[in-house]
């Protein structure tokens, strides 16, 4: 067999036996450099992939080769310099193994109206971009990952509630969403509800105001899986805590799964009623940490590969070293780097990465909502009055959505506050807009470039 054909065959089989995320991350950009007697040399794009393949996948590769009648004594992995973008050197790109970059998130399913009855879609709040497949596992999160997978396989019996806690931007939302997506995909009729505590409280306040508390209670107490994110925000909200206590009990007694996340363990959440505290602590609590250096590198690799711009080692290492407290920020820096380079037709280098990061470190902190809205309006050459006004034309709506996205990401404003800044009454518009732009940035280079340019001007 021709070396190229052999490797294509091997990759094709491996693709069927590992998850899509793992395949894309670890195998997609490999090639066969050499096959002589009983030595096989596999070209890999960088040292992290080399280590991972050596550590975890050597046996699988050997077995797959064996199945194709090729016995080798030694498999070596060699970091092969890339001569062209996204194409391994010295060998044609393995066509069969080529996969499309991770598909952009699918449609976010419509929100359920708590008062409504017909046409219910129960996947409230789930975002399909969060999967187990595209979650990179390392020492800091493997326990959480395993617990979430166990709960996704068998909901309600084990680990109830499952309570993930840890700092900001370390993958809590990703994992608990992945549970919801897995359950919902396996059983489309199940009622899987994901909600941020911020929105949960808002809905409850609305329900009180419009005398719809019964509908609110019914909606949440009949869930099969209820996922409430950032539950620390329930602190100090007495009525909400009381309502949630009853919801919790109803679900727990019926062996329905409850999944919670917070920035700290139940015992450290201030002004939380004791009875809730003990309920929260009554299941499985898992302390998540920021991923270690190696895992952060793998995350950068995985995210860069879905953008189809493989990164040099030194750039990956630089990002993973500089951004060591928050994966969201790490992702943000990576996206910024990729957009900056795409816009200018450059290959990402260490020099560019470090100059971009140093600029962002000296960012002024006094940016206002008004400046963001004005800058966005200017970018699209539309009047500010239109952005904050009632118009619904597409050329106004998109800039408005982008302004919302930037307000959320740069100023961390709450959704009701974002809605207010843009003259909207309903904060769910802000939630949808931010989510929509977040998705489009991943799949649409023009969107990525627009947001990146507005940001650059804001901080120029």
Interface with ligand ADP by CB under 6 A: which residues? 135-136, 141, 168-174, 291, 299, 327-328, 331
Q: By C-beta, is 32 or 269 nearer to Mg ion?
A: 269
CA distances 229 to 65, 79, 387, 393, Å, are 45, 41, 31, 34
Residue 123 CB, shortest distance to ligand ADP, in Å, is 18
Q: Which of 272, 357, 364 is nearest to 322 (CA)?
A: 357
> Quick one: what does residue 376 bind among ligand ADP, Mg ion, none, with the CB cut-off 5 to 8 Å set by partner type?
none
Residue 332 CB, shortest distance to ligand ADP, in Å, is 9
173 near Mg ion (CB under 5 A): yes
Binding window for Mg ion (CB under 5 A); candidates: 102-110, 169-177, 353-361, 388-396: 169-177
Q: By C-beta, is 168 or 217 nearer to Mg ion?
A: 168
CA distances 225 to 98, 171, 179, 222, 456, Å, are 36, 19, 9, 9, 42
Residue 373 CB, shortest distance to ligand ADP, in Å, is 25
Instruction: Tell me the residue number closest to ligand ADP, measured at CB.
Output: 171
- Cα 436 to its chain centre, rounded Å, is 14
User: Count of CB atoms within 10 A of residue 190's CB?
Assistant: 18
Q: By C-beta, is 44 or 330 nearer to ligand ADP?
A: 330
Q: What is the torsional sign of CA 176, 179, 180, 181?
A: positive
> Quick one: what does residue 331 bind among Mg ion, ligand ADP, none, with the CB cut-off 5 to 8 Å set by partner type?
ligand ADP
Residue 441 CB, shortest distance to Mg ion, in Å, is 18
Q: By C-beta, is 176 or 407 nearer to Mg ion?
A: 176
Q: How many residues bind Mg ion (CB under 5 A)?
A: 2
C-alpha angle 267-142-317 in degrees, rounded to nearest 5: 110
> Quick one: what does residue 310 bind among ligand ADP, Mg ion, none, with the CB cut-off 5 to 8 Å set by partner type?
none
Q: How many CA atoms lie within 13 A of 207 on its CB side?
A: 22
Q: By C-beta, is 326 or 371 nearer to ligand ADP?
A: 326
Binding window for Mg ion (CB under 5 A); candidates: 20-28, 165-173, 325-333, 414-422: 165-173
Binding window for Mg ion (CB under 5 A); candidates: 138-146, 158-166, 172-180, 282-290: 172-180
Strand pairing of 257-262 and 225-229?
parallel
> Quick one: what does residue 410 bind among ligand ADP, Mg ion, none, with the CB cut-off 5 to 8 Å set by partner type?
none
Residue 87 DSSP class: B
φ, ψ at 35 (rounded to 5°):
-140, 100
Binding window for Mg ion (CB under 5 A); candidates: 65-73, 164-172, 235-243, 303-311: 164-172
C-alpha angle 33-308-290 in degrees, rounded to nearest 5: 100
Q: Which residues lie below 8 Å from residue 164, measured CB to CB, with a gap of 6+?
A: 144, 148, 172, 175, 176, 259, 260, 261, 262, 286, 288
Q: By C-beta, is 8 or 409 nearer to ligand ADP?
A: 409
Integer Cα distance of 31 and 54 in angstroms: 15
> Quick one: what does residue 171 bind among Mg ion, ligand ADP, none, with the CB cut-off 5 to 8 Å set by partner type?
ligand ADP
Residue 352 CB, shortest distance to Mg ion, in Å, is 30
Q: By C-beta, is 42 or 179 nearer to Mg ion?
A: 179
Binding mask of the shown chain, residues 211 to 250, with x at each position contacting Mg ion by CB under 5 A: ----------------------------------------
The owner of tokens 């995909």 is 185
Integer Cα distance of 166 and 229 in angstroms: 12
Q: Which residues bind Mg ion (CB under 5 A)?
A: 172-173
């Amino acid at each position: 067999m021709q070396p190229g054909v052999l490797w294509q065959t091997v990759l094709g089989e491996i693709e069927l036996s590992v998850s899509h995320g793992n395949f894309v991350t670890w195998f997609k950009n490999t090639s066969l450099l050499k096959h002589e007697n009983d030595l096989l040399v596999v070209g890999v794009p960088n040292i992290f992939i080399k280590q991972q393949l050596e550590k975890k996948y050597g046996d699988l590769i050997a077995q797959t080769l064996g199945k194709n009648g090729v016995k080798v004594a030694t498999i070596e992995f060699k970091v092969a310099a890339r001569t062209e973008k996204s194409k391994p050197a010295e060998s044609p790109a393995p066509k069969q193994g080529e996969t499309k970059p991770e598909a952009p998130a699918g449609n976010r399913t419509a929100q359920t109206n708590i008062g409504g009855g017909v046409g219910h879609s129960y996947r409230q709040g789930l975002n399909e971009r969060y999967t187990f497949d595209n979650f990179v596992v390392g020492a800091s999160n493997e326990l959480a990952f395993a617990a979430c997978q166990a709960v996704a396989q068998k909901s309600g019996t084990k680990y109830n509630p499952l309570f993930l806690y840890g700092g900001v931007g370390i993958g809590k939302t990703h994992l608990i969403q992945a549970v919801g997506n897995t359950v919902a995909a396996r059983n489309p009729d199940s009622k899987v509800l994901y909600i941020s505590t911020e929105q949960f409280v808002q809905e409850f306040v609305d329900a009180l105001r419009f005398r719809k508390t019964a509908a609110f209670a019914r909606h949440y107490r009949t869930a099969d899986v209820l996922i409430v994110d950032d539950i620390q925000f329930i602190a100090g909200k007495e009525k909400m805590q009381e309502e949630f206590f009853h919801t919790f009990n109803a679900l727990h007694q019926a062996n329905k799964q409850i999944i919670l996340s917070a920035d700290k363990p139940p015992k450290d959440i201030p002004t939380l009623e004791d009875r809730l505290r003990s309920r929260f602590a009554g299941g499985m609590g898992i302390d998540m940490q920021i991923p270690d250096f190696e895992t952060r590198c793998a995350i950068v690799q995985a995210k860069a590969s879905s953008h189809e711009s493989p990164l040099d080692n030194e750039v990956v290492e630089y990002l993973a070293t500089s951004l060591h407290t928050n994966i969201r920020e790490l992702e943000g820096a990576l996206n910024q780097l990729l957009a900056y380079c795409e816009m200018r037709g450059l290959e990402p280098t260490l020099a560019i990465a470090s100059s971009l990061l140093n600029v962002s470190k000296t960012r002024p902190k006094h940016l206002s909502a008004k400046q963001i809205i004005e800058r966005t309006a200017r970018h699209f050459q539309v009047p500010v009055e239109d952005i904050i006004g009632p118009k619904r034309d597409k050329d106004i709506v998109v800039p408005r959505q982008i302004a919302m996205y930037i307000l959320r990401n740069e100023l961390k404003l709450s959704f009701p506050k974002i809605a207010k800044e843009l003259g909207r009454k309903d904060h769910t518009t802000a939630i949808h807009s931010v989510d929509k732009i977040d998705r489009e940035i991943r799949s649409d280079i023009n969107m990525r470039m627009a947001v990146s340019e507005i940001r650059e001007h804001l901080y120029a």
